[in-house]
Amino acid sequence: MGSTFGHMFRVTTWGESHGGAVGVIVDGCPPRLPLCVEEVQADLDRRRPGQSRIVTQRQEEDHAHILSGVFEGRTLGTPISILVWNKDVKSMDYVPMKNLFRPSHADYTTQAKYGIRNWMGGGRASARETVGRVAAGAIARKLLHVKAKTEIIAYVKRVHAIEAAIDPSKVRAVDVERNIVRCPNRATAEKMIAFIEKVRKSGDSVGGVIELVARRMPVGLGEPVFDKLEADLAKALLSLPASKGFEIGSGFAGTTMLGSEHNDPFVMKRGRVRTRSNRSGGVQGGISNGEDLILRVAFKPTATIVKTQETVDVKGKKTTLRATGRHDPCVLPRAVPIVESMVALVLADHYLRQQVQCG
């Protein structure tokens, strides 16, 4: 089962939705990087359930415990192990569904592949697994900040058909965190929140788009052919639960432009090569060019809803399902720090690879 990600900066997540704990092992982090548990905890707090009325009401404190790899506030260069206990587990909510395949979940495919599955929650397919990704991403974010001053900010761009007008070059992290939907456009955020609450009360769910900008990007991250930066970013972000689409720069909108309209002209600014526009999204030929990295990820509506749905049981018998348990009516607000973490993991890995290969 693929639970390890990265080459030089490698992370392995472990644990299941309703198991005793979840966590991560980070291998390849350089020594002497200043790191304290509070920095990891800050991102886990942004991801945790129960933080507002428009997310799942599962109550988890998600306190991070660093078990190894850090001493006197600095990394040792050895594997860093982080554990988070599962406390608010209500596995009995899933008893009525244990022999049913929930629509658009991983129940059927996991059973078909392995011949066994943990029916309590979503097991490894649950978004609970992303606790480890966010903990590791906090370390990657710190590495990028110390080495390159890189800043990574994600935010909710669209919920269903409600889309915010946002300039990625001007968005600030403080503006993202000012409301519970994590959209920096305050007026649009209020509309998003009202729509999510309406959908939640009807027993349904909704999806949307998260946009991300990474500023002060090093030049030269990524490699030609199979290890292109955007290819690794796509793999990282499409590995997230509920993600269904990825685009970078102009993305699919670029298909409606001519080459003369889409190309980014090169210019000299303050003694370095820059581009006048940034339709490439900061990556050309699979390698970062130093401009802002701009990308978007599409998330489908949460699969678990309380409306009655058609399905079959493990024996193939037709039946219906009305799901119980505590679930997000919209994954986007809690997915913002998860998207940031996956991008940080990719960039940190490529940064270290670049240092080894080119110095």
Region 155-160: mean pLDDT is: 98
Helix (H, G, I), strand (E, B) or coil at 334: helix
CB atoms within 10 A of CB 42: 13
Region 221-232: mean pLDDT is: 96
In this prediction, residue 59 carries a pLDDT of 67
The pTM for the full model equals: 0.95
- Per-residue pLDDT band for 123 (boundaries 50, 70, 90) equals confident
What angle (nearest 5°) sits at the alpha carbon of residue 145, between those of residues 216 and 70? 160
Q: Compute CA distances 342 → 6, 117, 264, 296, 301, whole Å.
A: 10, 26, 27, 13, 20
Domain at 4-358, CATH class: alpha beta
Quick check: 146 pLDDT over 90? yes
Its sign, for the CA torsion 99, 105, 111, 112, is positive
- Per-residue pLDDT band for 135 (boundaries 50, 70, 90) equals very high
Domain ranges of the chain: 4-358
Of all helices (H) and strands (E), which one includes residue 136?
helix 130-148
Cα 58 from Cα 86, distance rounded (Å): 11
- Looking at 47-51, 71-75, 215-219, which range is the least confident one? 47-51
Per-residue pLDDT tens for 269-328? 989 999 999 999 999 999 999 999 999 999 999 998 888 999 998 999 999 988 766 678
Cα 62 from Cα 241, distance rounded (Å): 19
* End-to-end CA gap in the chain: 34
User: Mean pLDDT score of the chain, rounded to an integer?
Assistant: 93
